[in-house]
């Protein structure tokens, strides 16, 4: 399973990129709104740092508007993926854009049928929101598993991006249930490295080493 970073913040993207494990970035209107920047300028900046897929979401809700915005976004850089919400108009837009070889990420997916429809429309990626499902007492992990099984049974190439990640356990669940990618906030990315026993182990090794040096002198 690959990692994408779920942010529009350039400092987080630069810091995360230094780990060498980030294959793409996802943004959404809420994340962009936090930044107080020009959307297109920020996308130019992000795509110059990250060579992999960078998802940029359309704002229009009608097919014509989504296709127009999608074409404009795709001109920014070859690695832009146009993010489109899971609606009937959105699926018409995905169908049109995918025939033009423009990559699409269908967002706000909450069940396996929505993912199947998006894949049939030609989506490059589908983004099931596992955190928001868990928030309402459903199992985001089960939905990922169902989508992965259906895509495998029916030979669909669309990639699953586990989205709406809230904590490290979501990453384990997404990986075990067959997500191809997880898009995660910077805060969760750095949590993945941590375990109290790792910290304790380093302290103990250093303590023993220092005691040995004192013994030698
Ligand atoms: C990414 O593609 C999604 O827009 C994002 O993960 C949603 O996360 P949230 O549910 O924390 O807003």
CATH classification at residue 73: 3.20.20.70
Instruction: Measure CA 25 to chain center.
Output: 6
Closest CA to 130 of 148, 153, 156, 152: 148
Distance from the alpha carbon of residue 206 to the mean position of ligand 1, in angstroms: 40
The domain containing residue 98 runs over which residues? 2-216
Distance from the alpha carbon of residue 72 to the mean position of ligand 1, in angstroms: 23
> What are 24's strand-pairing partners?
4
Q: What angle do CA 47, 165, 29 make, to 5 degrees?
A: 50
Indicate the DSSP class of residue 163: B
Confidence of residue 216 (pLDDT cuts 50, 70, 90): low
Has residue 217 got a pLDDT over 70?
A: no
Residue 154 burial by Cβ neighbours in a 10 Å radius (0-12, 13-18, 19+): exposed
Which residue owns the Cα nearest ligand 1 atom 6? 164
155-203 tens-digit pLDDT: 999 999 999 999 999 999 999 999 999 999 999 999 999 999 999 999 9
The residue from 2, 15, 83, 159 that is catalytic is 83
111-161 tens-digit pLDDT: 999 999 999 999 999 999 999 999 999 999 999 999 999 999 999 999 999
36-74 tens-digit pLDDT: 999 999 999 999 999 999 999 999 999 999 999 999 999
Give the total number of structural domains in the chain.
1
Pocket test for ligand 1, best of 2, 3, 4, 6 (most atoms within 8 A of CB): 6
Q: What is the pLDDT of residue 174?
A: 98
User: Does ligand 1 have an atom closer than 6 angstroms to the CB of 127?
Assistant: yes
**Beta strands 22-26 and 2-6, pairing class:** parallel
Say if the ipTM goes beyond 0.95.
yes
| 40 within 8 A of 76, measured Cβ to Cβ | yes
């Amino acid at each position: 399973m690959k990692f994408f970073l779920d942010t529009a913040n350039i400092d987080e993207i630069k810091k995360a990129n230094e780990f060498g494990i980030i294959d793409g970035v996802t943004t959404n209107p809420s994340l962009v709104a936090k930044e107080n920047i020009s959307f297109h300028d920020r996308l130019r900046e992000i795509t110059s740092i990250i060579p992999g897929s960078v998802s940029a979401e359309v704002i229009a809700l009608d097919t014509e508007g989504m296709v127009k915005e999608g074409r404009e976004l795709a001109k920014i850089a070859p690695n832009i993926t146009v993010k489109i919400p899971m609606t009937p108009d959105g699926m018409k837009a995905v169908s049109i854009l995918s025939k033009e070889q423009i990559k699409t990420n269908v967002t706000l997916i909450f069940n396996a049928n929505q993912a199947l429809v998006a894949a049939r429309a030609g989506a490059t990626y589908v983004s099931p929101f596992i955190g928001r499902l868990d928030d309402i007492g459903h199992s985001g992990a089960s939905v990922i598993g169902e989508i992965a099984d259906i895509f495998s049974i029916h030979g669909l190439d669309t990639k699953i991006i586990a989205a709406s990640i809230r904590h490290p356990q979501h990453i384990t669940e997404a990986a075990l249930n067959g997500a191809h990618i997880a898009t995660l906030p910077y805060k969760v990315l750095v949590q993945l490295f941590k375990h109290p026993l790792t910290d304790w182990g380093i302290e103990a090794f250093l303590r023993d080493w220092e005691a040995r040096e004192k013994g030698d002198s």
